[in-house]
Structure 1
Amino acid sequence: MKKIKVKDLLGQGHSLMNNIVMDTAGLLEEAYFVIKIDDLLKERGITQKDLAQMTGMRVGTVSEIINGKGISLNKVQLFAIMAALRVKSIDDLYEMKLPEGLEETFYTEQAEWKSTKEMPIAVKELYKENVLKASGLK
C-alpha cells in the first residue's frame, strides 16, 4: 500500500491544470491518496512484471502507477489492471483517506445531500466561488 499526501500530489500537478481544479483538490490537501495495487499483487502472488505482461503495459508504467509517480492513469489502463487482477471496483485499487474531522464532515454532508437532494451549504459555497472564478469575476 502506497500512501501519498494530496498536498504532495498537488505539487506534482500538471502545469496546464487549471487553478479551479487545483484549488478544489486543495481542499483535501491533508488527505491521503492510497494506492492498493501492490497489496493486490502480493495477495495474488504476482509481480509488477507479471502485471505488465498481463496488461500489455511497460513494466516502468506499471511501476509508476503502483508508486504514484505517473501523473495520470487513463481509463483503458485502469480497466486493463482491473481485468487482469479480477477486481470490479476502483475501491479495490485506490482509496482516499481523509483526516478524522474532514471525514466526519464528508459523511454528514453526503448523508444530508442524499436525503434532501439539496447541496450542503459548503458545497453550494464552493460551487458559487468556482463559478465566479471561472467567469473571471473573482
Structure 2
Amino acid sequence: MIHQKTNTIVIETLDRFPHKIHIKLGEILRERGLTQGDLHRLTGLRVATINELVNFKKKSLTVAHLVSIMIALRITDIRDLIEIEFDEEVQAYFNEENERMKNGFTPDLTKTAETNVKRIAAGVKN
C-alpha cells in the first residue's frame, strides 16, 4: 500500500522487506450482513474509500480511517481488521537483529539511519 507521495526511502524499505497485507473488511461486512453503504453511514467515510479498502486498491490508510471503522464495527483489536505478514526470511532476519539490539539499534539499523540522514540532507526526492 504505497501512496503516490511516499518518499523514496519508505518505498525502498518496503521493497527490502517483503510482506503481505490482508485487509479483512470485506469478510467482516459479509459476516455481519452489512454493505459498504452501511459502513459509510456508520463512519462518514466515502463509499469509494471503503470500496478501495475492501478491494485492496487503497494505497494508504490513515489511523482515522482505521479507528472509525473499528468503532463502527465494534472491533477492539486491529488484528481483527488487518494483518501484515512478513516472509519467513524477513522474520528470521528480524529475530537475529533483535538479539543484537543495543539501545534500540542494531548495527544494521545504525548503518541504515546514518545512510538515510545523509540522503535526507542531500534532498532525496519525496
TM-score, normalization: structure 2?
Answer: 0.79
Aligned to 2:56: 68
RMSD: 2.4
1:85 alignment partner in structure 2: 73
Residue 47 of structure 1: how far off its partner (Å): 2.4
Partner letter of residue 121 of structure 1?
P
The aligned residue for residue 107 of structure 2 is 121
Q: Which amino acid aligns with 2:117?
A: V
Could you tell me how far apart the structure 2 residues matched to 1:127 and 1:89 are?
31
Q: How many residues align?
A: 124
CA separation of 1:133 and 1:38: change in aligned 2, threshold 3 A = same
- 1:136 pairs, out of 114, 117, 122, with 122
Sequence identity, in percent? 31
Matches of 1:120 and 1:43, distance apart in 2: 43
- Corresponding residue of 2:90: 102
- How much does 1:119 deviate? 1.0
Write the letter of the residue equivalent to 1:86.
R
Query: Deviation above 4 Å: which 4+ runs of structure 1?
Result: none
| Structure 2 residue 10 is the aligned partner of structure 1 residue 56 | no
Question: Alpha-carbon deviation of 1:34?
Answer: 1.5
Alignment partner of 1:45 is 2:33? yes
Unaligned runs of 5+ residues in structure 1 are 1-8
Give the gaps of 5 or more residues in structure 2.
Answer: none
Cα distance between partner residues in 2 of 1:118 and 1:54? 41
Give the Cα–Cα distance (whole angstroms) in 2 for the partners of residues 104 and 84 of structure 1: 37
Structure of greater relative contact order (alpha carbons < 8 Å, 6+ residues apart)? 2
Aligned residue type for 1:64? E
Once the 2 structures are TM-superposed, how far is the Cα of residue 36 of structure 1 from its aligned partner? 1.7
Classify the secondary structure of the residue corresponding to 2:122: coil
**TM-score normalized with structure 1 length:** 0.73
2: CA distance, partners of 1:87 / 1:110: 31
- Partner SS for 1:97: strand
Q: Which amino acid aligns with 1:89?
A: D
2:7 corresponds to 1:18: yes
* Separation in structure 2 between the aligned mates of residue 131 and residue 50 of structure 1, nearest angstrom: 46
**Aligned equivalents of 1:109, 1:39: Cα separation in 2:** 35
Give 3-state SS (helix, strand or coil) of 2:6's partner.
Answer: coil
